[in-house]
Amino acid sequence: MELLKQMEEECDCIEVIFQDYIQSRSAKRIFLFFEGKDDYKYYWCRLSLYIGEKPYKKYNCNGKRNVLIIYEMIKRKTQQREQEKILYFIDKDFDKQNIIPDDIYMLPTYAIENLYISDKAIENMIIGEFGFSGEMDVEDKNDLSIAVKYLVTKRDEIIESMIYANAWYSLQKNKVNKPPYPKLSAIKEYCTIKNINDKSILQNLVPNSISVSDEEMEKEINYLREKPHERLRGKYFEQTMPHYIMDVFADSNKKVDRKMFSKRRKVNLNIGVDNMVSVLSNYADVPNDLLSYIIKRFQVDVGS
């Protein structure tokens, strides 16, 4: 009954979005479809260069599956108008199948949160918030190195503490292709899966989980470990990294008794789980294929 109710609610959501799109076409030419509300916070500063002041409509579709369904509905039931621009954005998640229509953009990482915790994104953030410039002196260079090394080390510790659970999570998603699906909501918080290295603990947390072998686990762990900051579940990074980022900023803000840095640099940012994606958006990685997708979709000027 719970699954049926969820499916009914999703159907209602999809239909509402589709009808709103139909009704909005007379006034707007740009339509953006996202999985959820946080996606817009990352994508907007990449899209705004092409949209400018032109009117647009954005939709939060409440999940990847819904974005794909709406794409099919629009493709089958409507005819794209001249100068109309429709863009769809989805996460890669744990998916290993990359066959999607060219009209849809899929991240090369698990989710947008992963784009905030690469070595380069971390360095960009420190350079920006500490106010470093090209003519850094020795102290500045050392402090930049200290901050980046600290955050990269913490990120890698987080990776090690959760890679086993991520491998199990990934197998639960990839081995089941029809209902009933494992109810994975119980392991969506980092604090729940931290340092778990035992399948039985995860199985107890997800009673309707499927059985996976030790060989499958080992293979999946090795796969995730190839690019862990890209392939592990992004929300876990969002739930953990802000704490360490604020440690860096707090030390930098101290007038005395700093443990990391040679001098005080005032940073006026308060970063938490709820605002990391929006506050640090300018520093996040921008995949080359994302820029290619946006440029291709806006090749023809959009009419207002």
Q: Give the span between the Cα atoms of 116 and 124, in whole angstroms.
A: 10
38-75 CB burial, b ≥16 within 10 A, e <16: bbbbbbeebbeebbeeeebbbbbbbbbebbbbbbebbe
Per-residue confidence (pLDDT) for residue 80, from 0 to 100:
83
Q: Give the span between the Cα atoms of 283 and 127, in whole angstroms.
A: 10
Q: What six digits make up the tokens of 33?
A: 């479809």
Per-residue confidence (pLDDT) for residue 10, from 0 to 100:
56
- Tokens 């005080």 correspond to 264
What DSSP assignment string belongs to 106-156? E-SSSSGGGGGSSHHHHHHHHHHHHT--TT--HHHHHHHHHHHHHHHHHHH
Residue 37, number of CB atoms within 10 A of its CB: 11
Q: What six digits make up the tokens of 103?
A: 């009209």
Would you write out the chain's pLDDT as a tens digit for each of its 304 residues? 444 345 445 556 899 999 999 999 999 999 999 999 999 999 999 999 999 999 999 999 999 999 999 999 999 999 988 889 999 999 999 998 878 999 999 999 999 999 999 999 999 999 999 999 888 999 999 999 999 999 999 999 999 999 999 999 999 999 988 888 999 999 999 999 999 999 999 999 999 999 999 999 999 999 999 999 999 999 999 999 999 999 999 999 999 999 999 999 999 999 999 999 999 999 999 999 999 999 999 985 544 4
The residue count for the chain? 304
Per-residue confidence (pLDDT) for residue 128, from 0 to 100:
97
Task: Check: CB of residue 203 under 8 Å from CB of residue 146.
Answer: no
Per-residue confidence (pLDDT) for residue 4, from 0 to 100:
38
Range 249-255 contact pairs with CB under 8 angstroms and sequence separation of 24 or more: 249/129, 252/130, 252/147
Per-residue confidence (pLDDT) for residue 11, from 0 to 100:
59
Task: Check: CB of residue 264 under 8 Å from CB of residue 255.
Answer: yes
Give 59's DSSP letter: E
